[in-house]
A and B are shown apart, each in its own frame.
Chain A
Amino acid sequence: DAKTTQPPSMDCAEGRAANLPCNHSTISGNEYVYWYRQIHSQGPQYIIHGLKNNETNEMASLIITEDRKSSTLILPHATLRDTAVYYCIVRAPYAGNNRKLIWGLGTSLAVNP
């Protein structure tokens, strides 16, 4: 599975858009990009995933560049409750018995009032 690179920390003002970047320059053609977040002391929470096209759901938008070497998670109107560590992970679809996701250290997002 391809490795990802994320900035260790970011700040965002409450009510503004938070744009979290992720670099995955060695991504393969069949690897999905996933985003999870972990609010302090809680279990990680799935946010969104995509393959090639941009995706949007009730939590966030995912923008994947045309060459798929990087992506951006967008929280359109960040709130204090969005303060969390955000993880970007890339992984090929399930094959055989391999269910492993490689978790890095993520980006610690602080949303400030």
Chain B
Amino acid sequence: NAGVTQTPKFQVLKTGQSMTLQCAQDMNHNSMYWYRQDPGMGLRLIYYSASEGTTDKGEVPNGYNVSRLNKREFSLRLESAAPSQTSVYFCASSEQGTGALKLFFGSGTQLSVL
């Protein structure tokens, strides 16, 4: 059981290049998330998808787009990368329900934008 799988693990981009970070989960979870983590700061939510077919902005959505391709997959796209987007990106998933929010995270993508 793989859980949440992210690809790639590392990526270096030049300013202005585009790329897509891929995320897939095999736990049949309804909700999926993209976070970024910068030194000295807590994790910040970029976008999330409460269920298949829906997406919503989080705290820091500017410069990003997302696609909830199906129940398993949730991708994050940088259309024109900027140095400020250098960060570690984590994908997560959770059950959809009215109770506690228990997140399962992938192993992260370390992105450098030069």
Q: Are B106 and A43 in contact (CB under 8 A)?
A: yes
B12-56 CB mask vs A (1 if < 8 Å, else 0) is: 000000000000000000010100000011111100101000101
Q: For chain A, what secondary structure do more than half of its interface residues adopt (helix, strand, loop), or is it mixed?
A: loop
Q: Are A32 and B100 in contact (CB under 8 A)?
A: yes
Minimum CB–CB distance for B104 against chain A, Å: 7
Residues in B whose Cβ lies below 8 Å from that of A95: 98
Residues in A whose Cβ lies below 8 Å from that of B75: none
Q: Report the interface size for chain B: residues with CB under 8 A from the other chain.
A: 31
Q: Are A105 and B40 in contact (CB under 8 A)?
A: yes
Task: Give CA–CA (A103, B45) in the complex, Å.
Answer: 9
Q: Which residue, of B50, B101, B106, has the highest number of chain A Cβ atoms within 10 A? A: B101
Q: Are A43 and B101 in contact (CB under 8 A)?
A: no
Task: Give CA–CA (A102, B103) in the complex, Å.
Answer: 13
Residues of A within 8 A of B (CB): 32, 34, 36, 41-46, 49, 87, 91, 93-95, 97, 99-106
User: What are 28 A-B residue pairs whose CB atoms fall within 8 Å in the complex?
Assistant: A34-B100, A34-B102, A36-B103, A41-B108, A43-B4, A43-B90, A43-B105, A43-B106, A44-B92, A46-B102, A46-B103, A49-B100, A49-B102, A93-B98, A93-B100, A93-B101, A94-B98, A94-B101, A95-B98, A97-B54, A99-B48, A100-B58, A100-B59, A101-B45, A101-B103, A104-B42, A105-B40, A106-B42
